[in-house]
Amino acid sequence: MKKKQRLVFRSILLVIIAVAVGYTLYSNVFNDKSGSVQKGDQAPDFELTDLQGNKVQLSDYKGKGVFLNFWGTWCKPCQREMPYMQKEYRNYKKQGVEILAVNVGESRVSVKNFADRFHLSFPIPLDGSREVTKAYGIGPIPTTFLVDKNGKVIEKTSESLSNETIKSFMEKIKP
């Protein structure tokens, strides 16, 4: 009987140790925020190519507010917020606010079909290699950064955005 109790105790102890080691590895590998851009940071500059083949460089937008959104065509919250982003882009573009909707790792054809379906007119840079996505420490999408006219991140969110929220964000970054 004692042998059986000892075996159960050792098995439970081994499971607890395995879970602790697994959690530690997961935390260190998947939740490493060292490359993560946060509120108050200077937005890292990047250069990507958009759907039209134009170079898009964040530093070219200095002096304007930038609504920097990381998204994917398969992402349901992204699909919901894109029409709101387009609506507010039409309203705020003339007021010095730009949208850069960085697509994360998808083909030009998929992204173009999506943009055509939603009648999107703002720049859509393609991050096929995910280098910019990694530089910004993007986890879940959509993730949106509000970048002020000086290139400073004043807000970061990974929530699905309503039209009202997008409008208030545009107001925050209007130069």
Q: Tokens 């999107």 map to which residue?
A: 120
The string of DSSP letters for 53-69 reads S-EEEGGGGTTSEEEEE
Q: How far apart are CA 129 and CA 120, in angstroms?
A: 23
| 95-113 mean pLDDT | 95
Q: Which residue has the higher pLDDT, 132 or 20?
A: 132
pLDDT score for 26? 59
Write the CB contacts of 86 (distance below 8 Å, at least 6 apart in sequence). Answer: 118, 119, 120, 121, 122
As given in the structure block, the two tokens for residue 113 are 């079909």
Question: What is 47-173's CATH number?
Answer: 3.40.30.10
- pLDDT tens readout for residues 122-154: 999 999 999 999 999 998 999 999 999 999 999
Label residue 33 by pLDDT band (50, 70, 90). Answer: very low
